Amino acid sequence: MTNKPLQPINVPSIEALETAHPFPTQYTIKVIGPDSLEFRSNAKTCCHNHLGQGVDIGVTERQSKTGQHLALTLKFEVPSAKMVQEIYKELAQLQGLKFII
């Protein structure tokens, strides 16, 4: 089995985000990566870097059948489409990231 490189992340455009969501809004991003404490912590930190330390980031997780990967669902209040883009870009840099939606 070979590791395929992660495809470039398509960050939603501001126009698409503003059409789909009335900002400020509750927003959800899902990231899939290694089942590690570091991945969990770094994903949440990426959100806090843009939203502030006092903002509540709701996190739910689901482990893959093999136990090697973890899907984290991150839910938070976001003030603007621009901030959503910034969070996507930082999350895309997570070590071991396999997928982001």
The pLDDT of residue 4 is above 60: no
**Which numeric CATH code is attached to 24-100?**
3.30.70.260
pLDDT tens for each residue of 30-72: 999 999 999 999 999 999 999 999 999 999 999 999 889 999 9
Query: Are 26 and 89 in contact, with CB atoms under 8 Å apart?
Result: no
Is the CB of residue 16 less than 8 Å from the CB of residue 75?
Answer: no
Query: Is residue 88 classed as helix, strand or coil in its secondary structure?
Result: helix
pTM, 2 dp:
0.88
Beta carbons within 8 Å of 50's beta carbon, 6+ residues apart:
83, 86, 87, 90
The structure tokens 């509540």 sit at: 56
> What are the φ and ψ backbone dihedral angles of 61, each rounded to 5 degrees?
-140, 155
Is residue 41 within 8 A of residue 33, CB to CB? The reply is no
